[in-house]
Each structure stands twice: as C-alpha cells, then as structure tokens.
A and B are shown apart, each in its own frame.
Chain A
Amino acid sequence: DQQVKQNSPSLSVQEGRISILNCDYTNSMFDYFLWYKKYPAEGPTFLISISSIKDKNEDGRFTVFLNKSAKHLSLHIVPSQPGDSAVYFCAAKRLYQGGSEKLVFGKGTKLTVNP
C-alpha cells in the first residue's frame, strides 16, 4: 500500500519556466512532508519541508504547497534551471520525541530542465 504517491514518473520543462511536481498521500497522521532531490550515484539531498499545520513554505526558488483536505502537496521551482535536473522524491513522516522518524517515500519524479 503506497502511502505517498508521485503519479508522474517524469517531467520536462524549459529553462526559466516553472516546474510543478505533485505528490499525494493517504495517511492523515503524517506531521511533516519533505522533498528530496537525488542525482545519479548520490544519496537523496534534503530540499525543503513543510509542517502539516502550514499550507506554504518558501525557500528561494523553491515553494512547497500543502492542501491537507485534498491530501496533496506540490513543489514549485521558479525559475527552473538545467542544474535542477534530477529525481525528486516526496517524503512524509510522523514526529516522535526521540527515537525514529522514518521517512515514507514516493517513487520519485525525474525532472529534466532543457536549456
């Protein structure tokens, strides 16, 4: 049972345009949602996150929007740059006081930004 879903395996955009990556989840108990970026032969790198009590978080060119009622979040990259080309993973977690906060990942979306 896939609790975090990224239904688009790939996305291609032109440099300078907006990239929108989507993610849906089924578990309403998640406290935090995160986006990770992964280049080939490297581990995932944290990009941006959002608490379940917020609906927007912005960091430079990256903005994450959360729609709790729809159990949907999206990552906006504006403007897109060729260096943004990578696989983007949506992930979710529940918060604990110490101990484990395992991440539940989606299958990833491969973003290609064309010059």
Chain B
Amino acid sequence: AAGVIQSPRHLIKEKRETATLKCYPIPRHDTVYWYQQGPGQDPQFLISFYEKMQSDKGSIPDRFSAQQFSDYHSELNMSSLELGDSALYFCASSLTSGENNEQFFGPGTRLTVL
C-alpha cells in the first residue's frame, strides 16, 4: 500500500539559508500535518491543512510557511535557517471521516543546519 512520501530524506543547509521540504500524502487523504522533532524531544505540531486550506497552526516560527497544493502534496518552506531548526520533520496524512481517523506518518526529513 502507498505510504506518505517525504523528500528529501536528508538535507544539510547553512545558517540563513532556505529549505523546502515536500510531503506527498496517501492518495485520497484530505488532511496533512507537519511535526518537528528536535533531538531527544517529542514531535511538536507545526501546522495542518484540510482540503488545501490551513486548518490549524501550532508552534511554527514566522520564518516558516507551508501550503498544500491542488494535488494535495504539501511543502514546508523554511527561511533564515537557524542552528535550532536542526530536527526531524515529519509529515502525516489522514482521511478526516469517522471517529478514529488515524494519522499515517512519513519517514521524515532530517534537516541539519550548520
């Protein structure tokens, strides 16, 4: 079965550079979530999209922006990168119907800021 695809899997950037992370949800899933997991930390919710509209926003810096496109893939854009942005970034998708709409996670993008 198709899973959530994230690209790239690894990314190395310098401080003050920009980065774009991509997420391709499971086909027919209508909701995408982005999470950030710092070293030794729990995954923290950043932002979500439902049917291509932003549906919720968490602890996402103003330097970050995201969008969901007509084909439902999502991109997380990160500018003016800081050392503290080094983390694992997970994308998850779900089908928002019923009570227990499980979120399926991608393998993550490991961003290293030097």
Contact = CB atoms under 8 A, between A and B. Distances in A.
Nearest to A38: B105
Nearest to A45: B105
Contacts of B64: none
A8 B43 CA distance: 17
Interface string A80-115: 000000000100000100111111111110000000
From B42, B45, B90, residue with most partner A Cβ within 10 Å? B42
A41 interface: yes
Binding site secondary structure of chain A: loop
A15 B103 CA distance: 30
B41 interface: yes
Interface size class of B (residues with CB under 8 A): 20 to 34
From A45, A51, A102, residue with most partner B Cβ within 10 Å? A102
A66 to B, nearest CB: 14
Interface in B66-114: 90, 92, 94, 96, 99-108
Interface string B6-48: 0000000000000000000000000101010000111111001
A22 B18 CA distance: 39
A104 B33 CA distance: 12
A43 interface: yes
B45 A101 contact: no
B107 A41 contact: yes
Given A43-B105, A100-B48, A100-B55, A49 B100 contact: yes
B50 A51 contact: no
A107 B96 CA distance: 26
A59 interface: no
A2 B43 CA distance: 12
From B4, B51, B102, B106, residue with most partner A Cβ within 10 Å? B102
7 contacts: A44-B90, A49-B100, A99-B48, A99-B56, A100-B50, A100-B56, A101-B96
Interface of B: 4, 31, 33, 35, 40-45, 48, 50-51, 55-56, 58, 90, 92, 94, 96, 99-108
